[in-house]
């Protein structure tokens, strides 16, 4: 995206891509369909350890509706809404088509694309920059846009080079960690439920603040996944990263609260397990009753008060027994990154080095699943590319 907009501004643009084809994150997005954008978004849904105000200003530079028009009018990709998830996909459901059209547009606008080229070092040189390539050759540039990605899904070429380079050049880089990643449990006490999915509400309390998400929840052989788990995983991962106490995550399995469940249990003449199985998958209902110490055939009238309260607690605020996570290999994005206060929110130019711009995952921000991280990549890529192409400084 940065190359597209830099070339549009009329400058000579050379894109250096470390992989042999480029756009691999696009190719694997949405199960090969490419979730280009969310239908609705707000800056409050993004996570950053930097200034939220700066983050808002960065996103405002290319509003969501304008991004949608770009893909439909300039790339010729009609976007189709998936109502149940709020995600936008290309009508053809082909991620490769999205990647190829972006590549073609960059070339059509005059950008030179070089694949299989890795940058070893980046150093200021006079009024510009010198790039030392891994093959021993060198390039000079008036301006450089760093769109190196993060550390997530290393198979796509992500290796954290941009973070190391930013540190060497004096930038603050917030500690990085895998975000939007599945959680694991050791021992895997729910392995027998693997494959079972349902909609839940998850809560991660943290002092005066708490994170609450609602969405799909999936039991796996290793632990837990699904949209809701991925969206709350950063709270869990950060608690381990910071060396503090393990972040508690609580599950509310249905929309019913405690008093509603109590009324239903007390008024039910059949088995309590059968009652719960009306709201939840039978295997999960059986598991929750067993963990609460409730016998399979006991009725509401027969259930002791202490067991009733324990069961209702597990139904409405179940402590998820996670112990770890699946790391960068399964993470959809990287948390942490270059401090946002150290870049101009309009141009994404470094406030430390003139002519150095950052965009995408290397910056300290990420959003929930559902196209928000592409939204961030497109918005920051456009701002950085335009400014570099026009020769604009902060």
333-338: average pLDDT = 98
**What is the distance between the alpha carbons of residues 45 and 66, in angstroms, rounded to a whole number?**
19
In the CATH hierarchy, which top-level class contains the domain 183-249+320-325?
mainly beta
Quote the pLDDT of residue 357. Answer: 98
**What is the distance between the alpha carbons of residues 132 and 123, in angstroms, rounded to a whole number?**
8
Q: Are 355 and 142 in contact (CB under 8 A)?
A: yes
**What is the distance between the alpha carbons of residues 81 and 346, in angstroms, rounded to a whole number?**
30
Quote the pLDDT of residue 209. Answer: 76
SS3 content of the chain, % helix, strand, coil (to 5): 40, 25, 40
Task: Kindly report, residue by residue over 161-220, the tens digit of the pLDDT.
Answer: 999 999 999 999 999 999 999 999 999 999 999 999 999 999 999 866 789 999 999 999
pLDDT at 331 over 70: yes
296-308: average pLDDT = 94
Query: Residue 294 has which token pair?
Result: 């409730």
For the chain, what is the mean pLDDT? 96
Q: Biggest alpha carbon distance in the chain?
A: 83
State percent of the chain over pLDDT 90: 95
Quote the pLDDT of residue 244. Answer: 79
Beta bridge partners of 337: 174
349-375: average pLDDT = 98
Task: Kindly report, residue by residue over 38-47, the tens digit of the pLDDT.
Answer: 999 999 999 9
Superfamily of chain region 2-177+334-390: FAD/NAD(P)-binding domain (3.50.50.60)
Query: Residue 20 has which token pair?
Result: 């042999």
Q: Are 38 and 117 in contact (CB under 8 A)?
A: no
**What is the distance between the alpha carbons of residues 341 and 244, in angstroms, rounded to a whole number?**
26
Quote the pLDDT of residue 207. Answer: 66
> What ranges in the chain are assigned the alpha helix state H?
2-8, 24-28, 52-60, 64-69, 95-108, 161-168, 227-241, 258-266, 272-277, 282-292, 305-316, 327-330, 372-390
Place of tokens 């397990």: 273
pLDDT at 18 over 70: yes
């Amino acid at each position: 995206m940065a190359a597209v907009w830099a070339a549009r501004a009329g400058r000579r643009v050379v894109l250096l891509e470390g992989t042999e084809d480029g756009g691999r994150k696009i190719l694997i997005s949405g199960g090969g369909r490419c979730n280009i954008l969310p239908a609705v978004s707000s800056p409050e849904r993004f996570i950053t350890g930097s200034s939220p105000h700066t983050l808002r200003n960065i996103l405002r530079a290319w509003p969501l509706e304008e991004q949608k028009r770009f893909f439909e009018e300039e790339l010729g990709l009609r976007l189709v809404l998936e109502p149940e998830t709020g995600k936008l996909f290309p009508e053809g459901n082909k991620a490769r088509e999205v990647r190829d059209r972006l590549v073609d547009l960059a070339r059509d606008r005059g950008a030179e694309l070089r694949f299989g080229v890795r940058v070893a070092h980046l150093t200021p040189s006079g009024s510009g920059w010198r790039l030392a390539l891994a093959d021993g050759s060198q390039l000079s540039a008036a301006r450089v846009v760093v769109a190196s990605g993060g550390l997530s899904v290393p198979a796509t070429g992500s290796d954290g080079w941009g973070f190391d380079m930013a540190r060497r050049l004096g930038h603050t880089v917030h500690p990085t960690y895998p975000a939007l990643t599945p959680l694991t449990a050791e021992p895997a006490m729910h392995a027998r439920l693997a494959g079972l999915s349902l909609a839940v509400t998850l809560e991660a309390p943290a002092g005066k603040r708490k994170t609450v998400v609602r969405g799909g929840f999936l039991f796996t052989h290793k632990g837990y996944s699904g949209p809701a788990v991925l969206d709350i995983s950063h709270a869990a991962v950060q608690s381990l990263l910071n060396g503090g106490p393990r972040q508690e995550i609580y599950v509310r399995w249905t929309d019913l609260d405690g008093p509603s469940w109590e009324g239903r249990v007390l008024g039910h003449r059949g088995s309590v397990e059968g009652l719960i199985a009306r709201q939840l998958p039978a295997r999960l209902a059986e598991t929750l009753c067993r963990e609460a110490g409730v016998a399979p055939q006991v009725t509401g009238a027969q259930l002791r008060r202490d067991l009733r309260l324990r069961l209702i607690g597990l139904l409405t605020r179940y402590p998820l027994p996670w112990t770890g996570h699946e790391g960068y290999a399964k993470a959809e994005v990287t948390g942490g990154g270059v401090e946002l206060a150290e870049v101009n929110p309009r141009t994404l130019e470094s406030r430390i080095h003139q002519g150095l711009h950052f965009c995408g995952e290397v910056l300290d921000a990420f959003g929930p699943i559902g196209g928000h991280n592409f939204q961030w990549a497109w918005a920051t890529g456009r701002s950085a590319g335009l400014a570099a192409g026009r020769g604009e400084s902060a």
